[in-house]
Amino acid sequence: MKTDPNIDTQKRRILAFAGKAAAFFSTVWFFSSGRVFAGFFSQHTEDIMKLPPARHKGTVSVEQAIERRRTIRSYTDKPLSPEQLSQMLWAAQGITEKGGFKRSAPSAGALYPMDVYVVTGEHTVEKLEAGVYHYKPDQHALERVADKDLREETARACLSQMWVATAPVSFVVTAEYERIRGKYGERGRRYAMIEAGHIGQNLFLQAQAEKLAAGIVGAFNDEHLNRVLGLPRSHEPLLVMPAGYEN
């Protein structure tokens, strides 16, 4: 029995429309169910959030930021804005060439063995839940790797320097040496440590540009810190940098 081709076409159109409608309503449910961060963070999956775009012009000169830079160990409880967090992460390891992969801090052989994690508390960054987040430079996004406030445990891993826990956020800079050893051998470890220094200074200077303050810690138990934050064993911590508004 032959069928009318016009009817078949109509059926295909109806099915296609129904599919689009289902996708639309499932998207509406997803956004209204609270599984995304409202406002500034755009979430692709439950645990990956796009950051606001970084600015490439500011109101503080490089010279002013260098002059004002200090290591600060006392912070208020005022939260950072999503834009401030975005800017700090971009300064640390953000992509700085359109359509490319070069980052904000220099790296031997452009191998980039570094990773940056952010430790946050409840309401310490507007519209961002407490936890530990892994910065993904290629997406300018955060991936959540822990879902609770671990600032106090981070401070204890930093040989009980409890002032670290008072900062709204702490940036943890790690190195994966295997990414750089292939080209430079054991010398690659030194290059990674130099790179960590560049990242640290970028964070210090960007903090000044954001009217924030930052500290820096190199005294911590590596294994304890990795265990507390749930970091991969191959990501060896080199710096912890608390940041927030100076008290």
CA atoms within 13 A on the CB side of 241: 27
Provide the CA 109 distance to its chain's centre, in angstroms: 23
Instruction: Give the residue, 208 or 40, on which the prediction is more confident.
Output: 208
Which of 120, 119, 114 lies closest to 136, judged by CA? 114
Provide the CA 78 distance to its chain's centre, in angstroms: 19
- Contact between 135 and 122 (Cβ < 8 Å): no
- Rounded distance between C-alpha atoms, residue 82 and residue 52, angstroms: 7
- Rounded distance between C-alpha atoms, residue 64 and residue 58, angstroms: 12
Residue 32's pLDDT is: 33
Report the chain's mean pLDDT, rounded to a whole number. 87
Give 116's strand partners. Answer: 173
Identify the DSSP state of 98.
T
Residue 191's pLDDT is: 98
Q: How many other C-beta atoms lie within 10 A of the C-beta of residue 46?
A: 10
Whole-model pTM: value is 0.82
